Amino acid sequence: MKRITTLLCTIVLAASSAHAAIPAPEGARVAVAYTTPGSQRIEGVHTDAFMIPASTQKVLTATAASLFLGLDWQFKTRMLASNGALASAKSNGGTLPGNLVLEFNGAPDLTRQALVNLLSYLKQQGISRIEGDILLDVSHYAGYDRGNGWSWNDLPVCFTAPASAVVIDRNCVFAQLKADQVGQIAQPVIQSGQPITISSEAQVVTLNDYYSGCELEVNLDSGNNYHLTGCIPSQPGKPWPLSFAVQDPTVWGVNLTGWAAKRAGLTWSGKVYSVRKSPDNLVELAHVPSAPLGKLMDRMLKRSDNLIADSIARALGYEYFKRPASYASGADAIREILRTKAGIDLGSALLADGSGLSAHNLIKASQMLQVLDFIARNDEQLQLIEKLPVAGMSGTLGSRGSVQMPPLVKNVTAKTGTLQNVSNLAGFMKTASGQRKAFVVMVNGLTFAPKIRQALKARRIASPHYKFERAVLEQIYREQPVQISD
């Protein structure tokens, strides 16, 4: 009898261990929120703790933009001149009197070739000369071109390219470093026509030295000048690729507008420069539309495109408040649109930008879940779920280690959120019973031992925290209560 009792106890303990608490990554803060199918009650762990959302914040930006602007809305880069100038030019040998104005409003997909095409409209009208200046109107935007709380040492990198009034070629420029022989100074190579300068003191080192802590660093000078120090690994016959975020987008715009005007076959008597107030009595000659908002948001969500997210957020600030847009007004517009059109009050949550790049952003997992539930109820109008990455299939979930195996692969549709020491997921999955469930998993304060960080930098291993993330997601999939041990 005693043996039978012991055996029964062993079976009970084994059954309960299947639902044992999942150990959180060492020292990390974790928040998990979800709803049980058929219930509106929010379940989870630390659901009301404020967490850094990182790029899951783009879910809020996309929802507000869909509600207020609509999926067909477009940015417009306009070319303007004084009323009657075009007719006067046609009767005056092809010389446009007065200034030509280009009105920039933050279109994130404007290219230099599109700018050439816009200016070529004048040639098509028989105009080849401007008797005046070419002005860049940047008055739609105000304040800083980067958000409060962006990491200063990320600023030279293209994923933090400024969402300014002037965006041309994504405000990102490419170059190379020759890295042939260990011990040499790497030499920069800049493609012709790129209005930047690069100087280098960066040394060429072995691959082992590079992954042991000697990194390439970029020091920023005034204008679009970059000075390189630190190290790059030796790559004989294979240049080291560089990509830099434009530091002064207005100077960048002035230089590329002059270049584009020449490519369009135009000459002008004055200068090219930026203004914050255009002359009065202007009429539109032509404009370049951006891709529709729906298409922009597809890239924004699948690829976690920060430039598009912050451009849309600032556009919301301009359109909602009818005043020059800042990051703050964009964040305020998102908050107000969610409150008035979705009934979601973010309360004490802090929004500093539209992309999630800022470490100042703070939101509860329960609040993010409210937004996801609203999307699920209204997706026929919003059309956002189809734009999210799919595990093992697309976007930033295409190769994420936590969701590459059944039952999660192809079954998790979610926005990732990654910053230094932050790794989040917010989205949807179809549970074991076949019902779609919204979920939020946030991990802040995530860090690893130096050797693991080096291996992660070299991409030799997947992030160790993926084991935790997968365990949580599988519990949600099985519709079992999530328990986490700190």
The residue with tokens 């290219």 is: 111
Q: Is 158 a domain residue?
A: no
Q: Which two tokens stand for residue 110?
A: 């404007």
Cβ partners under 8 Å of residue 140, min gap 6: 103, 104, 105, 106, 165, 318, 324, 325
| 308 and 339 together in one domain | yes
Smallest CA-to-CA distance from 471 within 453, 452, 484, 459 is with 484
Which two three-digit tokens encode residue 350? 């802090």
Give the bridge partners for 364, in sequence order.
Answer: 50
92 part of a folded domain: yes
Q: Decide if 8 is inside a domain.
A: no
Tens digit of each residue's pLDDT (9 = 90 or more) over 398-413: 999 999 999 999 999 9
Phi, psi at residue 47, to the nearest 5°?
-65, -25
Domain that residue 200 falls in: 166-245
Instruction: For residue 19, name the pLDDT band (cuts at 50, 70, 90).
Output: low
The reply to whether 156 falls in a domain is: no
pLDDT at position 334 over 70:
yes
Q: Under 8 Å CB-to-CB from 63, ≥6 apart: which residues?
A: 338, 342, 371, 374, 375, 382, 384
Q: What is the pLDDT of residues 267-315, one digit of tens each?
A: 999 999 999 988 889 999 999 999 999 999 999 999 999 999 999 999 9
Q: Residue 1: which pLDDT band, with cuts at 50, 70 and 90?
A: very low
Q: Which residues of 408-441 are buried (b: 16+ CB within 10 A; e: fewer)?
A: beebbbbbbbbbebbbbbbbbbebeeeeebbbbb
Structure tokens at 92: 């005056």
- Does residue 392 belong to any structural domain of this protein? yes
Question: Do 404 and 478 fall within a single domain?
Answer: yes
Pair 266, 129 in one domain: yes
pLDDT digits (tens, 9 = 90+) for 92-115: 899 999 999 999 999 999 999 999
For range 165-176, the mean pLDDT:
96
Section 127-154 average pLDDT: 94
Q: Are residues 175 and 255 in the same domain?
A: no
Catalytic positions are 55, 58, 304
* Residues 131 and 180 placed together within one structural domain of the fold: no
| 350 shares its domain with 419 | yes
Instruction: Using the predicted structure, report yes or no on whether residue 136 has a pLDDT greater than 80.
Output: yes
pLDDT at 243 over 70: yes
pLDDT at 128 over 80: yes
Tell me: pLDDT of 9 over 50: no
Assess whether 343 and 278 both reside in one domain: no
Element (H, E) at 228: strand 225-233
Phi then psi dihedrals of residue 481, to 5 deg: -60, 135
Q: Are residues 207 and 101 in the same domain?
A: no
For residues 310-326, one letter each, b for 16 or more C-beta atoms within 10 angstroms of the residue's C-beta and e for the rest, the string is bbbbbbbbbebeeebbb
Residues 418 and 427: their CA atoms lie apart, in Å, by 15
| Residue 466 one-letter amino acid | Y
Domain harbouring 470, CATH code:
3.40.710.10
Q: Give the residues across from 85 on adjacent strands.
A: none
Contact (CB, 8 A) for 347 and 368: no
pLDDT, greater one: 170 or 15: 170
Report if residue 139 sits inside a domain.
yes
Q: What pLDDT, on the 0 to 100 scale, is given for residue 92?
A: 87
Residues with Cβ < 8 Å from 431, sequence gap 6 or more?
A: 37, 437, 476, 477, 478, 479
Identify the three-state secondary structure at position 422: strand
pLDDT at residue 13 is higher than 90: no
Boundary-marking domain end, from 264, 288, 312: 288
Contact 197, 227 (CB under 8 A): no
Q: Nearest to residue 135, comparing CAs of 245, 280, 248, 247?
A: 280
Task: Say if residue 180 is in the same domain as residue 67.
Answer: no
User: For residue 153, is it within any domain?
Assistant: no
**Quick one: 35 and 93 in the same domain?**
no
Per-residue model confidence as pLDDT tens digits over 366-392: 999 999 999 999 999 999 999 999 999
Q: What is the dihedral of CA 245, 251, 253, 258, to 10 degrees?
A: -130
Percent of the chain past pLDDT 90, that is, above it, reads 83
Map tokens 């800049």 to a residue: 190
Question: Does residue 272 sit in the same domain as residue 206?
Answer: no
Separation CA 338–CA 183 (nearest Å): 56
Neighbours of 480 (CB within 10 A): 12
d(Cα 270, Cα 254) in Å, to the nearest integer? 13
Task: Tell me what pLDDT residue 210 has.
Answer: 85
pLDDT the model gives residue 237:
84
SS3 content of the chain, % helix, strand, coil (to 5): 35, 25, 40
Per the structure, the count of domains in the chain is 3
Domain limit, last residue, from 235, 264, 288: 288
User: What is d(CA 289, CA 237) in angstroms, rounded to the nearest whole number?
Assistant: 42
Residue 2 within a domain = no
Does 14 have pLDDT greater than 70? no
Query: SS3 for 76?
Result: strand
Which residues face 51 on adjacent strands? 363
pLDDT of 8 above 80? no
Structure tokens at 183: 């011990």
What's the whole-number average pLDDT of the chain? 92
Q: Which pLDDT value is given to residue 38?
A: 66
Q: For residue 280, give every residue at least 6 positions away whose Cβ sits within 8 Å of its Cβ, in sequence order, or none.
A: none
Same domain, yes or no: 263 and 210: no
Angle at 207 between CA 242 and CA 247, to 5 degrees: 20
